[in-house]
Amino acid sequence: MKNILITGGAGFIGSHVVRLFVNKYPHYNIFNLDALTYAGNLANLADIENAPNYTFLKADICDFDAICRIFSQYSIDGVIHLAAESHVDRSIKDPFAFARTNVLGTLSLLQAARLSWGEDVAYKRFYHISTDEVYGALELDSPQPPAPYGREFFREDTAYAPHSPYSASKASSDHFVRAFHDTYGLPIVISNCSNNYGPYQFPEKLIPLFINNICTGKPLPVYGRGENVRDWLYVVDHARAIDRIFHRGTTGSTYNIGGCNEWKNIDLVKLLIRTVDRLLGRPQGSSDHLITYVSDRAGHDLRYAIDSSKLQRELGWQPSLQFEEGLEITVKWYLENTAWLQNITSGDYERYYHDMYANR
């Protein structure tokens, strides 16, 4: 029996990882640790909340004493660490919150794992999930589709060059994880992923926000001229990669996870408009007028592109969907789950879970 602690498991990516592990590994005890901040929603896991191998733990990863008690009480064997502040615009407004959660929270987990496991680390693993944004930005060499839009890609040995408070906080947490491996022998692995999309994503992020805005006729604010390029990864494929790395990755190693799907933001927005309008039975192009160009984000990186060849070569993982296919599935999910989206946009879910756990 393995006791696996998944942090941030009520969030977007975390909920997909929790669901995968609960369903795929009934002989594991899965402990979902989440502080239930604005991005954490237990409704994301309603389908598995009563599974016999699943336990939810409400705690803040920065609360070191609470984390130590959890390691001791539940004999944690492995950690999959996803809990993080992740929205760049929020990091620009409040960098301290990102330093606290992403740096000090990670340090709290590392130290608790080190003290709990001691020298007996033969069957332990601390898996830290990071982002491609720690690498900085790539040049936009090829101005015309099809993608890729340049010759360079982020590889595992690419030098770090973070440009936002968010990416700087994630870079710092990556360094702490590697330092605990080098200094204390903690058995770690790290992965850096590209932009995720799919069901249950909090609607401040581009794809769910714009799906909702197209449905409701609200403006679609595009930074600059929409020339920035991102590599998009379907969240279920990301969860599959996390599973593969957690079980088979080489201790001390880093793996890049990308979708091999580079899109300019403006091209993505136009594809979203076509897809949503078609699925709603609207005439093609009827929502084009919603595109609104706004001042560019401070420190906005031009292009991200991931080289996942190490992961594919060593562990046999590949993305299962092309972007158009994954986007179609994603749009359909949001159109079919309007109650979930309304619950999020109204803030009702925060009040519900705050009241539920207020006296526990």
> Helix (H) and strand (E) counts for the chain?
13, 12
Nearest to 256 by CA among 316, 172, 190, 163: 190
What average pLDDT score do residues 91-101 get?
96
Residue 298's pLDDT band (boundaries 50, 70, 90)?
A: confident
Core vs surface per residue 111-125: b (16+ CB within 10 A) or e:
bbbbebbeeebeebb
Residue 255: active-site member: no
Annotate 109-160 with DSSP letters as a single string.
HHHHHHHHHTT--TT-EEEEEEEGGGG--------SSSSP-SS--B-TTPPP
Q: What is the mean pLDDT of the chain?
A: 93
In this predicted structure, the answer to whether residue 355 has a pLDDT above a threshold of 60 is no
Find the range with the poorest average confidence among 74-78, 186-190, 349-353: 349-353
In this predicted structure, the answer to whether residue 296 has a pLDDT above a threshold of 80 is yes
What average pLDDT score do residues 247-274 get?
96
187's tokens: 């058995």
What average pLDDT score do residues 324-335 get?
96
**In the chain, what percentage of residues exceed pLDDT 70?**
94
What average pLDDT score do residues 248-277 get?
96
What average pLDDT score do residues 298-327 get?
93
Note the pTM of the prediction, 2 decimals.
Answer: 0.93
What average pLDDT score do residues 259-270 get?
94
Residues 6+ apart with CB under 8 A from 225: 266, 293
Which residues pair with residue 5 across a beta bridge? 31, 79
pLDDT in tens, 21-52: 999 999 999 999 999 998 899 999 999 999 99
What average pLDDT score do residues 215-242 get?
95
Measured CA to CA in angstroms, residue 57 lies from 79, 93, 145, 161 at distances of 14, 29, 46, 35
Residue 143's pLDDT band (boundaries 50, 70, 90)?
A: low
Greater model confidence, 69 or 37: 69
Q: Check 127, 166, 197, 255 and give the catalytic one.
A: 166
Residue 296: active-site member: no
- Which pLDDT value is given to residue 148? 80
In this predicted structure, the answer to whether residue 346 has a pLDDT above a threshold of 80 is no
Q: Check 132, 231, 237, 301 and give the catalytic one.
A: 132
172's tokens: 């710092």
Residue 358: count of CB within 10 angstroms of its CB: 7
What average pLDDT score do residues 257-283 get?
95
209's tokens: 């926000």
What span, in angstroms and rounded, lies between the C-alpha atoms of 66 and 30? 18
- Which pLDDT value is given to residue 349? 53
Q: Backbone phi, then psi, for 277, in 5-degree steps?
A: -60, -40
Residue 133: active-site member: yes
What span, in angstroms and rounded, lies between the C-alpha atoms of 278 and 215? 11
Q: Check 60, 77, 133, 231 and give the catalytic one.
A: 133
- Which pLDDT value is given to residue 185? 97
**Most trustworthy range by pLDDT among 130-144, 291-305, 314-328:** 314-328
- Which pLDDT value is given to residue 345? 80
